[in-house]
Amino acid sequence: MQSATDLRNRLRAIDHRGYPAYKDLRGQYDFGDYVLSIDHVQGDPFAAPSRLSVHVSGRRAGFPAEYYNTFEKRITLQDHLTRLFGAQLARGSKQTGGSGKSGLLAASRCGQEVLERTACRVGTAGAEKETGAAGKTGSMAEQSGSTAGKADSASASGKPGPAAFAPGSVILRFEAGFPARGRTIDARELEKMLFDILPGCVLNSLYYRKINQNKLKEAIELCEDQQYIRKMLPELGLCAFIANGSVLPRQSGVSDRPMENAVPFRSPSSLEVSLELPHRGRISGMGIPKGVTLFVGGGYHGKSTVLQALQNAVYNHISGDGRELVIADASAWKLRSEDGRSISGVDISPFIRQLPGRKDTRHFSTEDASGSTSQAANLMESIESGSSLILIDEDTSATNFMIRDKLMQQVVAPEEEPIIPFIERVRSLYEDFGISSIIVAGSSGSYFHVADHIIQMKEYTPLDITEKAKKAATAFPVFSAPQGRFPEYSKKRCPRPNAALKKDDRLKLKALGTSELSLNHDAVELRYLEQLRDSEQTMALAYLLKYLELSVMDGRRSMTELADLVEKLLDEKGLESLFAQGTGSGKTDFSRLDVRASLARPRRQEILACVNRYRKLIV
């Protein structure tokens, strides 16, 4: 490893040379308090910025081991440090001049969700505490005696931490635009960035003694409270919880921040549940029981707002978001229609019987799905991914998939209608598979007959109207009676690799926000995956699709097995493993890879949803 003085000398030696000479700077440099690694140098000042990282030892960083001894707390700590470091870099960015991206300093831009990202990694190597598959975490008071290296190596949720990182050490990855005048190196300006601006950014964000320790403590304690609620959901027979006082509406269609002066959420007394949290103490809120729950009400009264909060409650949210104590089953899936999507070998026969032309729906494929066939495929794929809670809004559903009224049944004979509406299967989904449903409806009372709980949103306030609605429903005959047991269907799809893809690192990957990615110029449309929250998750999906196509798909492993393998890889080695050659070897020191600071971990549901929407998928 070279010294900071060596870097300064190199900079001065290449000043005023052609821009490619910057590539000579790649390597690691000891700055005393931290190590600076120049991992990738941009080709010219107008290209994507250079990739750098700072490495701070656990002894110097000084973060208490109880802040990263479970998987969830480590992710929270990493998220907090990324936000702090990003804010510091933003203040120092563009303080130097030049052409193109000269002077740019930037870290990952975190949203309202707390996500695992490649931007930051806190070493565990034995510091994470085993707390069981349910993600149970003890209180900080219980864990205060733990020290780095003494706790078990597995994390909460049974997730071992990446062992390549020493306990408590911090790696923060970021981007820098190396300065130039035209396409000539301006080494003096880069020297200013690396020697005058960067050290203060590191010191004021990655050293425990220098940051606001109370703010970090609050973030960790909030994480423990959130995990406690998640752990309690199945024990209380709930699929979701919304704390009283939560602020569910968002600022606007382009801002995910809480709306000012919004009506705080208040649970109806009949559904109110109280919990004793490790840090906040006793809280109360609406517990949504497992089964079939229906939200109804007039337009603009808050039905869809509640559902949107629940679909995003699969993630933890930061303090001040308003939804930080809104928690849903982590496997929850927002189901909707998706006209035009591709479908590959999905058994949709429980909902779509034989189509015209005797087209078999037990192994259904199409390049241009209709609203009903797409929603049926989306549901069967969500079952395949392990979802145990389905969220549906009638506004984004195919009407003929949801209901079929009596008049239509009389005019179009049952044998002429291939679609079995969801209302006839929703009970068996729960009774046979334990899959709950939360449905938003405002135009039809058909689901009153099959719902366990019916909640009316009135001026943004929930009212339990189950008894009233059930009584009213008796005056209207059931025209779509629930079927018996959920029918048998093909559960195993085994994708084969696409032979056209070459096994090399030159496959082009691209992400466009959360709406689309491309693998070798083949677009995968993701805009209807409403629980995909960050463009960095999209980029991670692109790398995962490449990994699955080149290394895992073999025509024998099922979709479920693919998801299990990916989760095992990410649990054990982190997202960094996606940048390794021979990922499965276990021999790569991931801390020394050229890792992009632009990946965030998606759920297994979104991973399989991405694979299923890949138009070159072969099943």
Q: DSSP readout, 560-604?
A: HHHHHHHHHHHHHH-GGGGGSSSGGGS---GGGS---S--BPPPH
The pLDDT value given to residue 128 = 60
Write the CA distances from 515 to 50, 136, 523, 598, integer angstroms: 26, 34, 10, 16
Q: What is the dihedral of CA 151, 153, 154, 155, to 10 degrees?
A: 60
The pLDDT value given to residue 318 = 99
Q: What is the mean pLDDT of residues 343-349?
A: 97
Name every residue whose Cβ is closer than 8 Å to that of residue 40 and which is 6 or more positions away in sequence: 26, 50, 51, 594
Question: 224, 440, 242: which is closest to 328 by C-alpha?
Answer: 242
Name every residue whose Cβ is closer than 8 Å to that of residue 598 and which is 6 or more positions away in sequence: 108, 118, 119, 536, 539
The pLDDT value given to residue 177 = 97
Write the CA distances from 150 to 56, 146, 432, 572, integer angstroms: 21, 7, 44, 19
Question: 62, 38, 31, 52: which is closest to 169 by C-alpha?
Answer: 62
* Residue 232: both structure tokens together: 């309690």
pLDDT band at 593 (very low <50, low <70, confident <90, very high): low
Planar angle of CA 104, 107, 110, nearest 5 degrees = 135
Residue 109: how many other CB atoms lie within 10 Å = 14
The pLDDT value given to residue 12 = 97
pLDDT band at 340 (very low <50, low <70, confident <90, very high): very high
Per-residue pLDDT tens digits for 450-509: 999 999 999 999 999 999 999 999 998 777 767 778 999 998 999 999 888 866 557 899
Q: What is the pTM of this model?
A: 0.91
DSSP summary character for residue 355: B
Who has greater pLDDT, 227 or 585? Answer: 227
Whether residue 204 has pLDDT greater than 60: yes
Per-residue pLDDT tens digits for 44-65: 999 999 999 999 999 999 999 9
CB-based contact 261:322 (threshold 8 Å)? no
The pLDDT value given to residue 133 = 32
Q: What is the dihedral of CA 555, 557, 560, 561, to 10 degrees?
A: -150
Q: Dihedral sign for Cα 494, 499, 503, 509, please.
A: negative
- Inter-helix orientation angle 559-573/371-384, to 10°: 50
Beta strands in 290-393 (DSSP E): 292-296, 316-317, 326-328, 333-335, 343-346, 364-366, 389-393
